[in-house]
Amino acid sequence: MVNIRGRWLRPVVFLLAASLALAGSAVPVRAAPVVGAVFLFEHFDGVTPPNAPAGWDVTDVSGTAGNWYTREGTRYPSGYPAHSAPNLVYFNSWSASVGSASRLFYNVGLDLSASRDVRLSFWMFHDGQYSNADYIKVQVSVDGGTTWNDVGAPFYRYTPSFYGWTEHQVDLSDYAGDSRFTNVRVGFLAVSAYGNDMHLDDIAVYEVRQAVYLPLALNAGE
């Protein structure tokens, strides 16, 4: 696992190539993709709930009943700790009417212009209590937050017979590696179906470096 500010982000495994050719030939050593630059990492632990950390804002997209808050542990369903204690952030779909939608977003632009392979990862609490189709969509803005684009498929809260945290990852490479992408904002659009709340934790935006192959000459007798 990669440790970023005391939190474990992603597994990194280094693999030695499985086959060796004749003595004296090159042996490829393959390193699995590793985390490079980290543009954002948020665990929501440095604030007193229900306040949001500096840099994070909320805006209503449909209706006014939906909102985002920080909290120590889950609200509905209750009794589950944050992925990294003590705090998490949640959208109140349990109390917001169907169709209520609010965006949680980081209001500081990220400069992704010099990176090509960029990912956003986050942990989401899933539960099997109500089958209502509450969901979250990852969104990106490149014009200071005026317009937002959906990235990837929605993430639904309901998972039959499961109560726990799951890590999700979204590819942001379409918004990286170009001079147009010096002010990229990321957001989470939550839409209520009047089921349980939707809880997130440990949000990260980071670069993934490509695997490197190093030819090592092995001579007989060494």
Ranges of each domain in the chain: 35-210
Work out the average pLDDT over 169-197.
98
CA distance 152 to 187: 13
The predicted model gives 34-42 an average pLDDT of: 94
- pLDDT at residue 173, as a whole number: 97
| Phi, psi dihedral angles at 94 (to 5 degrees) | -65, -30
Mean model confidence pLDDT for the chain: 87
Question: In angstroms, rounded to a whole number, what is the distance separating the alpha carbons of residues 157 and 125?
Answer: 7
Distances (CA, A) of 60 to 6, 131, 152, 188, 214: 33, 24, 21, 12, 51
Q: What's the Cα-to-Cα distance from 24 to each of 15, 27, 31, 110, 219, rounded to whole Å?
A: 21, 9, 22, 47, 4
CA angle, 28 then 2 then 199, to 5°: 135
Asked if residue 14 has pLDDT above 90, the reply is: no
Tally the C-alpha atoms within 13 A of residue 203's C-alpha that lie toward its C-beta: 19
Smallest Cα–Cα separation from 115: which of 205, 51, 177, 182? 177
CATH topology of domain 35-210: Jelly Rolls (2.60.120)
| pTM given for the model | 0.83
Structure token pair of residue 192: 């209520």
Q: What is the pLDDT of residues 85-117, one digit of tens each?
A: 999 999 999 999 999 999 999 999 999 999 999
As a whole number of Å, the end-to-end CA separation of the chain is 33
Backbone angles phi, psi at 174, to 5 degrees: -70, -10
For 132-141, what is each residue's pLDDT tens digit?
999 999 999 9
Note the pLDDT of residue 35.
86
pLDDT at 82 over 90: yes
Give me the amino acid identity at 47. V
